Structures are given as C-alpha cells and as structure tokens.
Structure 1
Amino acid sequence: MIDFTGATIGFVLMLGMMALGLHVAVAIFLTSVLGAIVYFGPGLLDTFATQLWAVMNDFILTAIPLFVLLGELLMRAGVTQRMYSGLSTWLGRLPGGLLHTNIGASGLFAAVSGSSVATAATISTVALPELRARGYNERLVLGSIAAGATLGILIPPSVNLIIYGALTGTSIGQLFAAGIVPGLLLIGLFMLFIAIISVLLPGSAGALDEAAPWSEKMRSLRHLVPPLSIFVVVMGAIYTGWATPTEAAAVGVLMAVALAAMNKALSISMLHDAFLSTVRTTAMILLIIIAAFYLKFIIGILGVPQAMTSFVAAMDLTPLGFILVLVVFYLILGCFIETLSMMVGTIPIVFPLVVHMGLDPVWFGIFLVLMMELALITPPVGMNLFVVQGVRRTGSVVDVFYGIIPFVAVVLFAVALIVAVPGIVTWLPYRMF
C-alpha cells in the first residue's frame, strides 16, 4: 500500500513529464510502470496486455472515432459558412451584432462536432475576415470565438464526456443530457455579456445590420436545418433508447455524408482527408485512454484512492470546501497542462474522492468539463487561444489573451451557478432516465 506522500510524488512526477513536453500517454504510462516496479516488481507489468485488451474491447469507445468523423465531414461539407450566414440574419440586429453569431454558430457547430479545437478553427476561418472588415474590436472578436468554441466539449455529443463516462462508468446518455442545460446557459451568459459590453462601449462592435425582412429570415433557416437535424436524430436516438451512442454516431456519419453529397462537396479526396484526420485524432485519444486505464489499474492496487480518501477525511472538508479546492486545483493545472491529459490524468485519483464526498457523478462530469473549458482559454497553454491566433495569422497572441479575460470570468460565474444550484445539471438527465 502506498501512502499519501508517495502518491503525491508520483502525481507531481507525471505532471512534470507532461510540462517538459513528453507525450501525454508516455508520461502517464511511465508513471504507472514506475509505480508498479517500485512497489511490486516488474512481474506486474505482464498485466498491461490484459488491460489493453479490456480497454480496446469497450464498445462505448467506438463512438469516439465516429463522432470525430462526423465533425470532420461537416467541416468539409461547407455547412459552417451557410450556418454562420443563416444565424447572422437572425442575430445581427442584437447589441453586439455578429459577435452573437460567433457564439450561436459555435454552439450549433459544437452540437454536431463534439470538439472545441475543431469549432475554434472552423468559426475563426469563417468569422474573422467578416468581422475585421466591419470594424469590430478585434480583441473582443478573438475572445468571443475562443470562448464560444469551448462549447464543443460541453454540448453533446462531446468526446470528453464519452471519455469521462468510460473512465468512471457513468452513463453516457445521462452525461449528454446533463450537458444540454448548462450549454444553453453558457451560450446565454456569453451573449448577455456581449450585449452589455456593446451597450456600455458602443465602439466595440461594428454598425448593426439592417433588419432583414421576415421572408429572408425564413429562407435563412434552410441553412440551420441540416446541423439541427443531425443533432436531433443523434441525440433523439440515444434518449429514446433506439440506439446506443455508438450506433447513433454511425447514423450521424451517414447523414453527414448525404449532406456533403447534397452540397456537392463529396469526393474521394474529401473523404480521404476526413478519414486521415479522424485516424490521427482517434489514435492520439485512444493511446491516452489506454495509458489512463493502466494508471487507474495500478493506483487501484496500490491503494491510492484509499490513501487520498483518508487524507481528505482527515482535513474534515465539507463538500463545498472540497469543490472549491478542486476549482483552484484545476485552474492552476489548466494554465500548464493540456485539457485531455489533465482530465485523464486526474480522474483516477480525484473520482474516488468525489464518490467519498457524496457528489453526483453526472454533476461532477459537467463540473469537470467546465473546468476543462477554462483550461482551453487560460494562458499560457490554452489550446483555443493558439488555434484562433493561428487562423488569424497577424498581430500577437497577446491580443487573444486580453480578449479572453472577461469570458473566463463568465465561465467561472457559470461554475458558481451549477455549484449553487446543482439541479441546473441534474434535472434533465434524471427526468429523462
């Protein structure tokens, strides 16, 4: 059995290897190997093959490449440009103009792509030239795109929620349902902030669009129907019990292929690029998951959960105090560690404490994803910040850093809301299931 000091040294060592640039999966796996050898000897390493086989035979994980492929196909099918144009017709007259379209388009694309990075890259490509030409405050534009893109890991289908469910044994259907209300809440908070800042600082947004006639607004809805249809079919199949998340993802892929054909974007080269990108992303994710499951196995037999539970119990923390500690912990960690590695590296250690404190696993999954959202937009390693700057290609990334600051405060406010009112997260999944 390991003690709290030994567990802490191992955890810090793993984070140190990640911070030095070692591949996430390698850092996690080496930490597991070191713990096994130090406490049990090299003979325990023979169990890795069994763990690898067990993880790769988990049916739910096959949903990951399918949802990644779904996002890749939609991104290459020309859906985003049409979707952005359709939303701008409806949202362009609000205070803040097209900044609201950035948030709305991010939320809608997130609902079918499941990836924050893909959302950031796609919306940046479409929005930046238009908003720059209209004289919007560039820092506010950059912040709105980077912040809106974080919705990709919260609004279902979310790859991060699938990984959390696989690592903790939590229902994927319940997690997807739990992400809907907080996702809509966060969209509303982002848009409310944009409206307020646009009224207080009129020069921050360009001139409002002329009010479009209702006939044009109704015609623009045809650009929103395809992504909404895919979302409704995929989520509806899961919630009604007609299909598992994996089967629903497969249906979504078929719909995306049909949509690409309708848009005359379907070709062998397009499919090749989508499949190749999907393989690269999936291989990276699954390699990290394999390492995380082995770490979970090793710390389980070492007694790390029991050691950590005893330490927390000795601190006599209330559930609220424990949550506040986690907020500070993930805020600091998110400034230095990439989100996926942070999530899979901490879940095996933190989740037993969550259970010990009596917190709802579904609620904690959404809380954790919100903290991952903050990690995506907090300097110096926030992934979305550099994706947006990479598409921008001019100026300094410092502009993105400044632009994101108020949106970080908005996400923190959303975290405070779900802590104060847990029903925001738990009401829908427990009504549906």
Structure 2
Amino acid sequence: GSTFREKVAAVRQVWGTILLFVIVLGGIYTGIFTPTEAAGIGALGALGLGATAGRMNRSSFFQALLDSVDTTAMVFTILIGAIVFKNLIALLQFPSMIETWMLALSLPPMGMLLLILLIYILLGAILDTMAMILLTLPVFFPIISGLGFDAVWFGILMVVVIELALISPPMGINVFVIKGMAPNVSLGTIYIGVLPFVVAQILLLVLVLIFPDLALWLPRTAS
C-alpha cells in the first residue's frame, strides 16, 4: 500500500479540485449562489485549474469549447422538442382529460398516488423535467390535496420519481443525452451503466413512500 507521505503528496496534486468541490457545494448549501450559478463557477474554476496546471493549450481550449457547443445544442434540441410537445398536449386539453379520467376511477388514496407516480415514469420517455412539472402539477396537485396527502411530501416524491423516469429504460430522456455526449458508447452499455442508479432510485422512492418522515423531518425542523 501507499505510505502516508505518498498519500499527502497525492492530495497536494489534487488540492485545487478538492477546493473547487468544497466551494461549489458549500456555496449551494449555504445559499450563497444557486445551483445554476454554481455550475458556472465550477466551470470557470476548472478552466482556471487547467490553465495554471499547464495542461491546457489553445488547441485543447477551443476543442473544449466546440464540445460544449455540440453538447449544449443537442440538449437544447431535446428541450425544444419537449416544449413543442408540451404546448401541443396543452392545446388538446389533454391534462384536463387525464384529471377527469383519474377521478372517475374511484381508486383509494394510495392507489391514486401510485397511479400518478406511474404516469410520471411513463412521461419521462418524452418530456424533460420542467415540462413534466409544468404540465402535470396543475392536474395532480388538486387531486393530491383532496386526498389529504402532505403537499411537501408529494413534491419530494415527484422529484424522486421524475429523476427515476429520466433514466428508466427503454426511453429515459437522459439516456439519450448521455448517448449524445458519448457517441462511441452503445445504448446497451449506457442502459447497463444506469441500472444501479435505477435500482437505487426505486429503493429511495419506496422508502419515502413507506416512511414519509424521511422526507419531512428537515422541512418540519426548518419551520
């Protein structure tokens, strides 16, 4: 194994990365900046670390910019498609049709909640996070409130299940984002790679469903 001195030397080589990690996460959790601002700070910090370490020249810098533009264009193409689809189904009054259909089922409260979570998983194949929230919240929230479920708890469940939906085979939209970033990797390999995260997310969803206090103790403490 490595000696203590070798470990200290290794830490010295990555101190900048550790510091950047602390600044980004620390800034988010202390409320100094938003996650979006943290992403910009992290990117700028990584650029500075690469420049000061002598591992970035003009050619690699411009190649990184081109890769960023390519990835951004791919992501925005997906988002634009999701927004167009969102406007289409809103125009067709699809959300109100779903609400009428769900209320007509006369399911018990937990059955209705599980049905809503299943709908989110299916929507993850065609919609991004923001589109899912904007489209479904006006439909599902009154139903959830009428059934007597805690609004904060449902919000947390919704975030967890949307995260699951975006990576669930066979059509999780984030899987195709990853494919665009790594075109040389097959979709089968990507699906195998995300399976542990799918399992972990399912376990998290089950735990929050069975033990609501896991999600609610912190908001209750803050209030």
Kindly state the Cα deviation for residue 408 of structure 1 after the two structures are TM-superposed.
4.7
Q: After superposition, what is the alpha-carbon deviation per residue over 1:104-162, rounded to whole angstroms, capped at 9, x for unaligned?
A: xxxxxxxxxxxxxxxxxxxxxxxxxxxxxxxxxxxxxxxxxxxxxxxxxxxxxxxxxxx
Paired with 2:12 and 2:218, the residues of 1 have a C-alpha distance of 29
Q: TM-score, with normalisation over the residues of structure 2?
A: 0.67
Q: In structure 1, what is the Cα distance between the partners aligned to 2:196 and 2:34?
A: 39
- 1:352 alignment partner, one of 135, 138, 152: 138
**2-structure distance, mates of 1:422, 1:223:** 43
| CA deviations over 1:368-420 (Å, ceiling 9, x no partner) | 10332333899xx95569999945x9xxx58x85x876765444223211222
Give the distance between the partners of 1:376 and 1:425, measured in 2 at CA: 29
**C-alpha deviation, 1:301, in angstroms:** 5.1
Distance 1:302 1:385 in 2: 32
Instruction: Please tell me whether residue 250 in structure 1 is matched to residue 40 in structure 2.
Output: yes
User: Which of 303, 308, 311 does residue 101 from structure 2 map onto?
Assistant: 311
1:12-54 per-residue CA deviation (whole Å, 9 max, x = no partner) reads: xxxxxxxxxxxxxxxxxxxxxxxxxxxxxxxxxxxxxxxxxxx
Equivalence map 1:141-160=2 (5 Å): none
Match of 2:148 in 1: none
* Corresponding letter in the other structure for 1:248: A
- Counterpart of 2:83 in structure 1 is 293
Higher RCO (CA < 8 A, seq sep 6+): 1
Shift of the 242–413 alpha-carbon distance from structure 1 to 2, 3 Å rule, reads closer
Matched residue, 2:111: 321
Change (3 A) 1:319 1:290: farther
- Cα distance, 1:256 vs structure 2: 0.9
CA RMSD between the two structures = 4.1
User: Structure 1, unaligned stretches of length 5 or more?
Assistant: 1-209
Where does structure 2 lack aligned partners over 5 or more consecutive residues?
146-150
Query: Which residue in the other structure is 1:417 paired with?
Result: 207
Distance 1:219 1:270, change over 3 A: same
> Following TM superposition, by how much is the alpha carbon of 1:313 offset from its aligned partner in structure 2, in angstroms?
1.7
Return the match for 2:155 from 361, 378, 396: 361
Alignment-derived partner of residue 236 in structure 1: 26
Contact 1:363 1:422 in 2 (8 A): no
Are residues 326 and 235 of structure 1, via their aligned partners in 2, closer, same or farther at CA, if it must alter by over 3 Å?
same
Deviations 1:298-343 (A, max 9, x none): 5445433222222212223345324433555566677xx4xxx443
Q: Report the count of equivalent residues.
A: 210
Residues 1:278 and 2:73 aligned together? no
Structure 2 CA distance for partners of 1:219 and 1:432, relative to 1, 3 Å = farther
**Contact 2:121 2:168 (8 Å CA) reproduced:** yes
Cα 1:388–1:252 shift into 2, 3 Å:
closer
Question: Could you state the TM-score of these two structures normalised by the residue count of structure 1?
Answer: 0.39
Report the counterpart of residue 128 of structure 2 in structure 1. Answer: 343
Q: CA deviation at 1:260?
A: 0.6
CA contact (8 A) 1:230 1:252 kept: yes
Query: Secondary structure of 1:281's partner?
Result: helix
Q: Distance in 2 between matches of 1:382 and 1:289?
A: 14
Instruction: Report the Cα offset of residue 268 of structure 1.
Output: 1.7
Map 1:394-405; keep pairs closer than 5 Å.
401=192
